[in-house]
Amino acid sequence: MMKAVFFDRDGVLNEDRGYVFEREEFVWTDGAKEALADLTQAGYALFVVTNQSGVARGYYTEADVRSLHAWMTAEARRAGGDIKAVYYCPYLEGAPVAAYDRKSSWRKPGPGMILQAMADYDIDKRESFLIGDSPRDMEAAERAGIDGYLFTGGSLQVFVNRIIEERRRRGGL
């Protein structure tokens, strides 16, 4: 079984500039690439779980999302971080794009994306956690049965290193 870290994207890995779907708009948060590299070195499997309602709102397409995520994972890899997979939810109840107008357990605070990753990979819940920037991220983590840590800004690398140290102290690793 592998230990894993799940990341929300906007506001955690990249600055939340509202419906980011182009490389030019994607700005890594301070210490994000370093945090991914540190976690990879520490033996964690890394996953991104992100709501992408911009698809349902007609702002961009799923192809745009996949293209940005391919670029993002390649950039992380160049910095020493290995993102195993990115899960995203394009659905939104009441969406203007009819094909995406539906309720989905993948939309956080639903735990669907996390649970799917756990089904796709052999993940140890006890040694895994999520980093997000909103209460809905924390709820999704709780509903998936893993710890959630609320990132409110600053260096993601410093934040991650504090979590790792805290988990070591309490015997979570």
Active site residue 10: yes
CATH number at 123 reads 3.40.50.1000
Express as a percent the part of the chain with pLDDT over 70. 99
Instruction: For residue 12, give Cα distances in angstroms to 44, 153, 171.
Output: 17, 8, 26
pLDDT score at 123? 97
Instruction: Single out the catalytic residue among 10, 38, 133, 137.
Output: 10
Q: How confident is the model at residue 170, as a pLDDT?
A: 86
Q: Provide the domain limits for residue 120.
A: 4-169
**Which tens digit of pLDDT belongs to each residue from 104-161?**
999 999 999 999 999 999 999 999 999 999 999 999 999 999 999 999 999 999 999 9
Residue 47: alpha-carbon gap to chain centroid: 6
Catalytic residue among 8, 38, 133, 147: 8
- Number of domains within the chain: 1
Question: Among this protein's residues, is 8 annotated catalytic?
Answer: yes
